């Protein structure tokens, strides 16, 4: 196929990717953006296959069938509460795919296929010319080494993120020395990459890159607590894109370079936004240190004899007399699948002349934009979703704040308790409102493992129980008043 035609079609696919990402910035255009990106990828895959003169389509068709079945099952069965785990897995799959591409290209160019672990480590006589003439061969080796490094790191890091989000891994582990130990691992892995570039036949160095990168992915993510996981997911998403871009250089595929670069840069921008939202250092994210250490206040000291409970009908009377109400959703709303019930409660309040808005923290939930996605699913008007910076100054003029399952993002310890794991993280200042209603199953801590002094404040009412059930009962009682 004509190379100019192929590149032109790749350009069209790249434009569709960009338009797709732009569409994903707003709920109203998100579906269209997703379809545009998918169309761009379909065009890119089809033209790539047609441009390959010698290819056995048997394996391609088998891969498409198996992948389509697995992907369809995952998409249909996944709940919104588990979407962050799925995103983490997909990041890992992307990193793993780039890793296998790089290793396959490496051993293919060496002209050897290891049949055993011993052969995997056996040196091969080769130089960079096997990977291309002159500087081209050196660049190809650097691309292979970096793809292996970033792809392997993304794979294991994403699996750890999945395990933490799924609460399969509840403790945090790390290397002695924390970020220093991780930095040493990074240096060792880069040295191994350099050895491969200098001597392409040094397969032991390539195996060392794989092993070090896999371990690095574990050690970078394991020490990070669940409250900081949205930042980690954004960063791993960026890593998967960077690995894909390097894989594009390896294969000489323009559209893969474009797609990977877009994912890598957008993921890095999102990571930066998440860091600002949580007052975290990007350097700490990169080297696996997110939370501060310090003495944690005991829950009994915070709650003992100070918590006031209420029933849904009591809250309904408060809402009837309120002029302004702010709803603050959190992961508990997602777990209870209460987003539709929340919208119905808001509709009932607005029918009585109450001004209702939603206060959205950037990292509420388990992934960036989690609450936005849930509320958009319930067809909540987008202009009702108010970001933290804009909603915080209004809390002092708010009659009632309804907190549904949000914990860490409303915890005053982030402002007041220096040394706590969330200290310095900007929060929604719901405690400034006249009355705070917290809907929660119990006084159990959030993902950061901290008690929340908000629950024990004089103007806070705790409504215990399932979030959806409690909201439905409030709506029913309010409609009867």
pLDDT, position 128: 56
pLDDT, position 210: 94
Q: Which two tokens stand for residue 101?
A: 């591409």
Q: Are 455 and 307 in contact (CB under 8 A)?
A: yes
Q: In which element (H, E) is residue 435 found?
A: strand 435-440
Residue 373: closest CA among 22, 3, 24: 24
Q: Are 452 and 407 in contact (CB under 8 A)?
A: yes
- Give the C-alpha separation, 192 to 145, whole Å: 9
Q: Which residues are within 8 A (CB) of 404 and not within 5 positions of it... i.e. 6 or more apart?
A: 327, 328, 329, 330, 332, 333, 336, 338, 342, 439, 467, 471
Count of beta carbons in the 10 Å neighbourhood of residue 427? 22
Residue 359 phi/psi, 5-degree rounding, is: -90, 115
Read off the DSSP letter of residue 443.
Answer: S
Beta partners for residue 400, in sequence order:
325, 435
- Give the C-alpha separation, 178 to 158, whole Å: 19
Q: From first to last of its 481 residues, what are the pLDDT tens digits of the chain? A: 688 888 899 999 999 999 998 888 776 788 899 999 999 999 998 898 888 776 778 888 898 899 999 988 988 888 766 778 888 899 999 999 999 999 988 888 887 666 555 555 565 555 556 777 778 888 889 999 999 999 999 999 999 988 888 878 766 666 666 677 888 889 999 999 999 998 888 888 999 999 999 999 998 888 876 666 778 888 899 999 999 999 998 888 888 999 999 999 988 888 887 777 766 677 766 665 555 444 556 777 788 778 899 999 999 999 999 999 999 998 888 888 899 999 999 999 999 999 999 999 887 876 777 888 888 888 898 889 998 989 999 999 999 999 998 888 899 988 887 777 777 788 999 999 999 999 998 888 876 678 899 999 999 999 999 999 999 999 999 999 8
Q: In which element (H, E) is residue 120 found?
A: helix 117-120
pTM: 0.76
pLDDT, position 434: 94
Beta partners for residue 10, in sequence order:
none
pLDDT, position 124: 59
pLDDT, position 85: 84
pLDDT, position 182: 81
Q: 121-135 b/e with 16+ CB inside 10 Å = b?
A: eeebebebebbeeee
The DSSP result for 157-218, as a single string, is HHHHHHHHHTTS--S----TTTHHHHHHHHHHHHHHHHHHHH-TT-HHHHHHHHHHHHHHHH
3-state SS assignment for residue 428? coil
Residues noted as catalytic = 408
């Amino acid at each position: 196929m004509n190379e100019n035609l192929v590149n032109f079609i790749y350009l069209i696919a790249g434009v569709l990717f960009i338009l797709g990402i732009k569409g994903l910035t707003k709920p109203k255009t998100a579906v269209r953006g997703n379809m545009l990106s998918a169309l761009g990828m379909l065009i890119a895959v089809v033209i790539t296959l047609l441009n390959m003169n010698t290819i056995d389509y048997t394996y391609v068709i088998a891969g498409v069938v198996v992948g389509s079945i697995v992907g369809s099952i995952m998409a249909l069965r996944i709940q919104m509460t588990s979407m962050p785990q799925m995103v983490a897995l997909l990041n890992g799959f992307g990193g793993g795919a780039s890793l296998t591409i790089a290793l396959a290209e490496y051993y293919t160019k060496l002209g050897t296929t290891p049949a055993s672990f011993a052969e995997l480590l056996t040196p091969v006589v080769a130089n960079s010319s096997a990977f291309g003439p002159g500087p081209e061969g050196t660049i190809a080796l650097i691309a292979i080494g970096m793809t292996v490094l970033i792809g392997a790191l993304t794979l294991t890091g994403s699996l750890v993120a999945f395990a933490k989000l799924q609460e399969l891994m509840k403790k945090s582990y790390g290397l002695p020395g924390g970020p220093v130990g991780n930095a040493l691992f990074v240096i060792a892995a880069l040295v191994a990459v350099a050895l491969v570039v200098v001597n392409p036949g040094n397969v032991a160095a390539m195996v060392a890159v794989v092993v070090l990168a896999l371990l690095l992915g574990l050690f970078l993510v394991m020490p990070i607590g669940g409250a900081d996981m949205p930042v980690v997911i954004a960063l791993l998403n960026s890593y998967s894109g960077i690995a894909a871009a390097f894989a594009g250089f390896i294969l000489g595929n323009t559209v893969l370079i474009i797609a990977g670069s877009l994912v890598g840069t957008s993921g890095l921008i999102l990571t930066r936004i998440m860091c600002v939202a949580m007052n975290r250092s990007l350097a700490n994210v990169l080297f696996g240190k997110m939370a501060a250490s310090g003495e944690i206040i005991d829950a009994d000291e915070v709650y003992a004899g100070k918590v006031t409970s209420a029933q849904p009908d009591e809250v309904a009377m408060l809402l009837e007399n309120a002029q302004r109400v702010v709803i603050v959703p959190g992961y508990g709303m997602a777990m209870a699948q209460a987003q539709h019930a929340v919208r119905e409660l808001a509709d009932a309040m607005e029918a009585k002349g109450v001004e209702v808005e939603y206060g959205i923290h950037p990292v509420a939930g388990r992934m960036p934009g989690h609450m936005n996605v849930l509320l958009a699913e319930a067809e909540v008007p987008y202009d009702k979703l108010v970001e933290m910076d804009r909603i915080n100054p209004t809390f002092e003029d708010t009659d009632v704040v309804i907190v549904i399952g949000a914990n860490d993002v409303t915890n005053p310890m982030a402002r007041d308790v220096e040394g706590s794991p969330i200290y310095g993280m900007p929060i929604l200042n719901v405690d400034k409102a006249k009355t705070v209603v917290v809907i929660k199953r119990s006084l159990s801590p959030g993902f950061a493992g901290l008690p929340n002094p908000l629950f024990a404040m004089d103007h806070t009412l705790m409504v215990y129980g399932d979030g959806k059930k409690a909201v439905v009962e409030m709506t029913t009682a309010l409609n009867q008043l």
